[in-house]
C-alpha cells in the first residue's frame, strides 16, 4: 500500500505524541515537528506508510535523546494482558469454535496501539465482546483449511500487550495439528511494537520460535529484513500477519498471507470496504477483489 497525502497529518500527530511521551521540553517537541515537516516532502508517496513512520520516529528519538519512549507503556500493556490471560483462555475453551474465538481475540488485541490511533484500549473490555462480534471480512474458513494442510507457519507480530492474544491464537493453532511456528518481532524499539524482550516476557518462546525481522520499521519492509526472516517468509506454508502496519507494507504481495487487523484509519477501511474499528480476517488477494467492489 502506498502513502497518501491524507497520511501526512497522521505522521505529524504521531510525531507530536511520541515527542510528548519522550520529553516535557516544548522546544524539543517543536523541533521534532519542524524536522518531520521538513522531511515529509522529501519522501516519495510510492513508499509505504510504515517506511515513512520509521523515519518519523527516528527523528523523534534523535532529537529527544530517547530511543524507546514507550518502554513503560509496553511493559504495562504486557503485564495487564498477562493478568487476564487465564480468563481469555477460558473464554476460548468454552467457545463453539475455539480457533475462531482465538482469531477474534487476536484481532481485538490489535486495538492496543499507540501509533495510528494513539489508543490504549482497556484489556478488560476485549474478551467477551470480541468473541461475539462478527468479522467484517471473514476469510476464517479458508485460513482453517490452509492450516490443516500446512506444516510451517510464519506469524508476524505487532504490538506489546497484543502479543499475549497472539500467544493464545498460536496455542489454538497447535491444537489443530503439529506445526512449526515462528513469531516475528521488531529488531529494536519502534512505537509500542513488540521486540524480543516483549515476546520473552509474555512467554511466546514457549509456543513459537522467536525471530527478529532484522528491521525497526513498524511493518515488514522486505528490503530491510534479515536473510533468516526472508528464508522463513518464502518457505512458510501460511503467513499470519497482525496489524495495520504489516498490512500496509505487505498488502501488495502475492504470497499466501492472512491479514488479521483492526481497521484504524479511513484509507485502510475504504480500501477494504469496511468501517473504522471493524475486525478483519482477509486472505491476500481478496483485498484487491474488495478494492474493485469498493473503489
What pLDDT, in 10s, does the model give residues 61-82? 999 999 999 999 999 999 999 9
**Is 2 within a domain?**
no
What CATH number is associated with residue 222? Answer: 3.40.50.10880
- The reply to whether 80 and 186 lie within a common domain is yes
Question: How would residue 286 be classed by pLDDT, with cut points 50, 70 and 90?
Answer: low
Inter-axis angle of helices 140-148 and 98-109, nearest 10 = 120
Question: How would residue 132 be classed by pLDDT, with cut points 50, 70 and 90?
Answer: confident
Query: Is pLDDT above 80 for 100?
Result: yes
- The reply to whether 246 and 130 lie within a common domain is yes
**Range with the poorest average pLDDT among 119-128, 192-201, 283-292:** 119-128
Question: How would residue 276 be classed by pLDDT, with cut points 50, 70 and 90?
Answer: very high
Indicate the number of domains in the chain.
Answer: 2
- Integer-rounded Cα Rg, in Å, for the chain is 18
Q: Please state the φ and ψ torsions of residue 207, each to the nearest 5 degrees.
A: -125, -10
Of 64, 85, 104, the last residue of a domain is 64
- The reply to whether 245 and 139 lie within a common domain is yes
- The reply to whether 84 and 105 lie within a common domain is yes
User: Average pLDDT, stretch 108-116?
Assistant: 77
Residue 116: predicted pLDDT: 57
Query: Is pLDDT above 70 for 185?
Result: yes
User: Average pLDDT, stretch 250-276?
Assistant: 94
- The reply to whether 193 and 135 lie within a common domain is yes
Query: Is pLDDT above 70 for 290?
Result: no
- The reply to whether 84 and 52 lie within a common domain is no
What CATH number is associated with residue 55? Answer: 1.10.8
Distance CA 162, CA 16 (A): 24
The proportion of the chain whose per-residue pLDDT surpasses 90, expressed as a percent, equals: 87
**Is 60 within a domain?**
yes
Distance CA 127, CA 112 (A): 13
**Is 1 within a domain?**
no
Residue 292: predicted pLDDT: 44
- The reply to whether 46 and 108 lie within a common domain is no
Of 23, 39, 64, the last residue of a domain is 64
**Is 238 within a domain?**
yes
- The reply to whether 150 and 126 lie within a common domain is yes
Residue 278: CB partners within 8 Å, gap ≥ 6?
136, 137, 262, 263, 269, 272
**Is 33 within a domain?**
yes
Q: Please state the φ and ψ torsions of residue 113, each to the nearest 5 degrees.
A: -145, 140
Cβ atoms 114, 139 nearer than 8 A: no
- The reply to whether 39 and 181 lie within a common domain is no
Residue 47: CB partners within 8 Å, gap ≥ 6?
2, 3
**Is 125 within a domain?**
yes
Distance CA 112, CA 126 (A): 10
Residue 134 C-alpha cell reads as 462478527
Distance CA 258, CA 225 (A): 19
- The reply to whether 265 and 281 lie within a common domain is yes
Query: Is pLDDT above 80 for 208?
Result: yes
Domain coverage including residue 27: 7-64
Unique residue bearing C-alpha cell 477460558: 90
Dihedral of alpha carbons 190, 194, 200, 201, sign = positive
What pLDDT, in 10s, does the model give residues 149-160? 999 999 999 999
- The reply to whether 161 and 47 lie within a common domain is no
Of 45, 64, 83, the last residue of a domain is 64
- The reply to whether 30 and 105 lie within a common domain is no
**Is 96 within a domain?**
yes
Amino acid at each position: 500500500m502506498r502513502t497518501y497525502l491524507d497520511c501526512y497529518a497522521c505522521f505529524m500527530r504521531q510525531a507530536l505524541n511520541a515527542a510528548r511521551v519522550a520529553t516535557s521540553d516544548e522546544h524539543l517537541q517543536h523541533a521534532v515537528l519542524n524536522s518531520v515537516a521538513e522531511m515529509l516532502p522529501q519522501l516519495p508517496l510510492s513508499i509505504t506508510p510504515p517506511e515513512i513512520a520509521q523515519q518519523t520516529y527516528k527523528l523523534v528519538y534523535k532529537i529527544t535523546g530517547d530511543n524507546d519512549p514507550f518502554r513503560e507503556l509496553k511493559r504495562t500493556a504486557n503485564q495487564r494482558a498477562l493478568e487476564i490471560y487465564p480468563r481469555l483462555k477460558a473464554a476460548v475453551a468454552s467457545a463453539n469454535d475455539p480457533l475462531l474465538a482465538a482469531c477474534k481475540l487476536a484481532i481485538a488485541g490489535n486495538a492496543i496501539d499507540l501509533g495510528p490511533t494513539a489508543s490504549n484500549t482497556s484489556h478488560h473490555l476485549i474478551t467477551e465482546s470480541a468473541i461475539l462480534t462478527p468479522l467484517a471480512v471473514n476469510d476464517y474458513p479458508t485460513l482453517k483449511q490452509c492450516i490443516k494442510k500446512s506444516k510451517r507457519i510464519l506469524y508476524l507480530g505487532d504490538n506489546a500487550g497484543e502479543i499475549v492474544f497472539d500467544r493464545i491464537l498460536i496455542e489454538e493453532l497447535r491444537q489443530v495439528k503439529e506445526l512449526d511456528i515462528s513469531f516475528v518481532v521488531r529488531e529494536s524499539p519502534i512505537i509500542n511494537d513488540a521486540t524480543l524482550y516483549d515476546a520473552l516476557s509474555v512467554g511466546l518462546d514457549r509456543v513459537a520460535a522467536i525471530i527478529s525481522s532484522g528491521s525497526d520499521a513498524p511493518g515488514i519492509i522486505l528490503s530491510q529484513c534479515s536473510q533468516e526472516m526472508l528464508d522463513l517468509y518464502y518457505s512458510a506454508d501460511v503467513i499470519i500477519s497482525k496489524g495495520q502496519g504489516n498490512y500496509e507494507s505487505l498488502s501488495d504481495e502475492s504470497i499466501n498471507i492472512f491479514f488479521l487487523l483492526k481497521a484504524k484509519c479511513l484509507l485502510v477501511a475504504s480500501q477494504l470496504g469496511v468501517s473504522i474499528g471493524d475486525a478483519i480476517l482477509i486472505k491476500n488477494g481478496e483485498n484487491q477483489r474488495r478494492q474493485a467492489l469498493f473503489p
